[in-house]
Structures are given as C-alpha cells and as structure tokens.
Structure 1
Amino acid sequence: MQLDDLRIYVATVDARRFTAAADRLQLSKQFVSRRVMALEASLGVRLLVRNTRKLAVTDLGYEFYERATRILAEVSDAEQAMSSQRAHPRGLLRVSAPLSFGMVHLSPLVGAFLSSNPEVRIDLELSDRTVDVVGEGYDMALRIGTLADSTLIAQKLAEFRMNVCCSAVYRNTRRPPATPAELARHPCLLYGEEARTGWSFVIDGAVRTFEVHGPLRANNGEVIRDAAIAGAGVAWLPEFIIAGALASGQLVTLLESFVSPPITLYAVYPQHRQSSVTIRAFTQFLRERFAKTLGV
C-alpha cells in the first residue's frame, strides 16, 4: 500500500466519481480506477460499489476512508513540522461550525483566509449537531458554550453576551418578568443545552441558574429567535443571533439589570493535530478577525 493510493482513494470518495477525482488529481480516469482496484485487491475487501452514474461507498470503504484521511493528515503534519520550506499553511482543512454563527460570522472570513493562504483548501460543514471530531475525520471544530470533558485541545476565540428577549407584543400583553425567578411564570423558548440546565445570571457576585420550561426546544438559535419574534414566549439567546431583530424592533430585551455570564466560542481539535501549521494559522486568523468584528 502506498500513500499515493490513499490520496487517490480519498479524492475518489470525496468526488464520488472517478472522472472528477482524476480531474482534481490531474491524472487519467483509467489510472485512478486501476489504483483503487489495486488497493481493494491488496486489502481483500470491496471499498466502492460502481455503477454508471456514481460510486457508492461500502461500510468498510467508509471506515477505511476515515482512517486514510487521518493517516494523510498525520503525514501532512509531519511534513510541515520537519521541513522549514513548508512551514506555512497548506493542504485540506476539514472544519465543523454551528450553523447560525457560521452563516453570520464565519462565512465572511473564509474567503479572506483562502486568499491569503493559496495552498489551503477548506471543507466546511455548518451544522448545529455536535460532531465527533476524531471519529468523523474533522481537523477542527468551532463550538459555543460549555465544553464537555474530552481529550480535544480547546482554544478560546471569542465571548458573546446573552440576552433575555421577547417580542414587543408579548411584553405589552403580559407582565414581563422583573427577576430571573419570575421566568418560571412564562413560556420559555429553549435553545440547545440550556433546555436541560436552565438560564444563568450573576446575582450578588455569584452565578445562579434558574429552571425554565416552555413549548419549544431547538438546537438552532434562529428557530428560537423566530419563535420569539412570533410572540411564542421568552428567549435567552447570544447577541449575534438577535442583534438584527433588536435593531429592527422585532425583539426587545428583558431583565436588563441582570447580567448573564458570557458564552465562549472555542476552536477544538485532536491532540495529535496540535502541531499542524494550518490549524494554528486558521485559529489565529479567526481570533484576530473576531477581535475586530466582534470587539472581543
């Protein structure tokens, strides 16, 4: 088995077609097909199912793809670490980020990073699910909020203020809460893990968490924001999700005299990738840009 065969196989799975993989690698379609067949023969397993339109990946083929991706990433890291001539960002960077944050704040920055680093390619997935960074072959992920215990390396990138809010109609038709304890009398719209842990505020110098209940829970902040705009209840959301709605008057803030602890944006990545020049460069780039755009 050769590293070139792993690169060909990974490119083929990414493209789902021999022709597209061959174009990306600047090889002939016949050569790519032969090398994948030789790889299957050496492993003694079927990796791909071929048909006239596209390729399907078998279960074993997908498992091998994840392992091959990690092997190639390790090799790339070793090359970057050992060669001073290659001590600059290069190669494929697979990144996962939250959907709402990614659309608003990450999307405008990706192109600028690629323009400054022409040897880097980014494969970005925007999703509010918590991906398995190692198991799914990601190089890094952006996560907001309290991190679960794990072996991942975490780098702080920014902090965001949390706001309690509702629609103006809701505030005018119901007596708004005067204290966090009074949230128990209101239908609360629950975003992410706060549905299980409650909403937190700094009171007398200590953080207190108040249990809340309501008709809706979602792992996407825009869903909760839109439900609040529609008057369905009270929401507790990061400022970057509701800034536009507050500015337009679609939402108004509540409990202004009570401050919530800020939530933190982290870059997380596997321990074995902490020497990656590309990951370090992208993380530092995001930290510097967020300091300018978000004031953090």
Structure 2
Amino acid sequence: MCHSFVVRELVVSNMDRLRAMETFVAVVEGGNFTEAAQRLEMSAVMVGKYVRQLEDSLGARLLERTTRRQGLTDAGRVYYEDSKRALEYVRVAEMSIERLRASPSGTLRISAPITFGSCVIAPLVATFQRTYPLVHIELELSNRVVDLIDEGFDMAIRIGELGDVDLVAKPLTMYRMVICASPDYLARHGHPQTPHDLSAHHCLSHTVWNSRNAWKLKGWDEVQPPIEPSFTCNDGNGLRMAALAGAGLLLQPEVLVAQDLASGALISVLQTYLPEPRAVHIVHRQDRRPLPKLTRFIGHLLAHVGEQETH
C-alpha cells in the first residue's frame, strides 16, 4: 500500500505532474495554499489547480478542507511521505548531472573511420586522458556510418558528405590521399609521371575498391586506363607494409603514411593528380548543454589534430 500511489504517479509522470507533486508537498508543509503559493512563487489559484490535478489523476482525495482548517486524509498522508522521497530522488539525480557538468568524467563513446581513427584519434585519446583521467573512452573503429542516437554514441568522425542534418557538425581537418612507393621499388621501376604510366606499374589496392572507384585521380576520370592491381588487401596498414617492402605503388590516406614519408621510407609521386581532399567533421547530437567530457574532448581534437598530423 505504501508505494502504490507513487508507482501510479510515475507511470503517468511528466514535468507538469512532478510540479504538482512538489506543490502538494509545499501545501502540506506550509499549512495552506497561500503559504505554498508564496514559497513556490505562484498564485494560490494555481496551487489549488495542481492539487486538484493530483486528486483527479489518483482518484483519491488528499486534503480535507474546511473554512477553518486543512488536514491530510489517510491517502494524503501516504502520498505525502512517498512524494517527499520521490522528490528527493529527483534532487539527487539532478545533483549527479550537475557534478558531471562540473568536471569531465564518465564514459565517452566515439565512432571513427578505421584509418583516421587509429592514426589520429587513438593517440589523442591518450593525451586527453592524461589531463582527464576520470573519462573512460570507448573508441569504435568502423567505416560504416553509425546512428549516434540509436547506437548510443556521444560523437563520431565523418569524412566527406554529412548525411544527418539533425547533428551538430564541426570541421576538423582535410582528409588527403597520397600515392607513394619505397625508394627500392622506384629504383627498379621508375617514377610514374602521369596516370597513364600506372598501367606499367604494380599497384596496391584495397579490397573494397572496384574498377569504378579505385585509383580515380584528379583530371583523369575519363581518359585514365583501368588499373589492374597486383596486390589487394582489406586493411590499409597491410597495404602500407607491402609498399614499405617494395611491393608497388600505394594510394592511401596521408595520415597512414605520414611518418614513412617524413623518414624517407616512402616517396610521394604523382602529386599533381591526387584525388581532391575531403572534409573531416566532428558530429554529435544536439544538446543545449553538452557534458564537459564531450566538449573538452572536442576542444582537444580541434586544438591538436593539425599538430598531431605533422609529427
């Protein structure tokens, strides 16, 4: 019996009903409608409306009112005690959210494309957690476009066209491709000067590419001869390792081979014909007051992505 009224109230609860519960408690503790109205900064008429709303929804009278005094019914006493507990639970819940907003903590779920996520995002997770050790980060690497709301992600990295107009998008950087090969391979086969030369070279290709989207270079969409790859792999890093071993020409994101290019282990070729760079965006759900764990991590990415890519 002691919890029946609260259970029924929670089933039909909304913000207006929660306000009605708060008003009823104020009436009981203030002794009358006038005192409750002053405490809640509303009119006494509105106080009466909230109390009647509760009584109608519960199907029970909560207050006995006469011209001289006001008292609780048996149902009113039970509902008053349970309402106080329910309102306290709400207050504690709100305080926990405020604590989350005051300092970055909790779990942050991120989706990112495989290559960009592993080469750029994962290292920045480490530097972020040195500053904010209470934030636990789950980074899922996948080239599919996830649904942030349905799948419970706080943010995602998107390359190219943005599909969901309901998300907040922030530009992060540009996603550039590069064609490169090892010095040993180029010494044996020569440097290609135009895309027409690719037919005479060993080309390394990703398994998901096909004749329509593989090795499409700027300015050569119509006249470029088809490329027959000598080696395919379903992993960009596997292709990179093959290129380092001298297997052939590699077309992959610059972030994957940046250190190899800087060290001279791979040499860039055909720079004039590279595919157009694509924009990289951070996307997250719309929230009037996003939690610090999200805003601080986004700020960390915006501040350090360019710096990280050049090292």
Call closer, same or farther: CA 1:285–1:244 in 2, change over 3 Å: closer
1:23-43 deviation per Cα after TM superposition (whole angstroms, max 9, x unaligned)? xxxxxxxxxxxxxxxxxxxxx
Alignment of 1:52-67 (within 5 A): none
1:130-158 deviation per Cα after TM superposition (whole angstroms, max 9, x unaligned)? 26343432222224x42463455433211
Structure 2: tracts of 5 or more residues without a match: 1-6, 8-92
Match of 1:137 in 2: 152
Match of 1:180 in 2: 195
Call closer, same or farther: CA 1:114–1:149 in 2, change over 3 Å: same
Match of 1:197 in 2: 213
Call closer, same or farther: CA 1:92–1:187 in 2, change over 3 Å: same
Call closer, same or farther: CA 1:260–1:107 in 2, change over 3 Å: same
Q: Distance in 1 between matches of 2:218 and 2:258?
A: 22
Q: Report the secondary structure of 1:132's partner residue.
A: coil
| Residue identity opposite 1:288 in structure 2 | A
Match of 1:276 in 2: 290
Alignment of 1:101-112 (within 5 A): 101-112=116-127
Structure 1: tracts of 5 or more residues without a match: 3-77
Q: Report the secondary structure of 1:244's partner residue.
A: helix
Match of 1:71 in 2: none
Greater alpha carbon shift after TM alignment, 273-282 vs 216-225: 273-282
Call closer, same or farther: CA 1:118–1:79 in 2, change over 3 Å: farther
| Residue identity opposite 1:111 in structure 2 | A
Matched, 1:149 2:193: no
1:160-207 deviation per Cα after TM superposition (whole angstroms, max 9, x unaligned)? 43221122233233244221233244342224765452334444xxx8
Alignment of 1:252-267 (within 5 A): 252-267=267-282
Match of 1:96 in 2: 111
For the Cα contact (< 8 Å) 2:171–2:280, is it kept in 1? yes
For the Cα contact (< 8 Å) 1:170–1:233, is it kept in 2? yes
Q: Identity of aligned pairs, percent? A: 32
Match of 1:171 in 2: 186
Q: Report the secondary structure of 2:170's partner residue.
A: strand
- Structure 1 residue 227 displacement after superposition: 1.8
Q: Distance in 1 between matches of 2:170 and 2:215?
A: 25
1:158 to 173, 181, 192: 173
Q: Distance in 2 between matches of 1:97 and 1:259?
A: 23
Q: Distance in 2 between matches of 1:265 and 1:219?
A: 22
| Residue identity opposite 2:290 in structure 1 | S
Q: Distance in 2 between matches of 1:256 and 1:129?
A: 26
- Aligned-pair RMSD on alpha carbons? 3.8
Call closer, same or farther: CA 1:119–1:79 in 2, change over 3 Å: farther
Q: How many residues align?
A: 214
Q: Distance in 2 between matches of 1:153 and 1:212?
A: 39
- Structure 1 residue 242 displacement after superposition: 1.4
For the Cα contact (< 8 Å) 2:106–2:135, is it kept in 1? yes
TM-score (norm 1): 0.57
Q: Distance in 2 between matches of 1:212 and 1:280?
A: 44
Bigger CA radius of gyration? 2
Q: Distance in 1 between matches of 2:202 and 2:238?
A: 15
For the Cα contact (< 8 Å) 1:133–1:139, is it kept in 2? no
| Residue identity opposite 1:130 in structure 2 | R
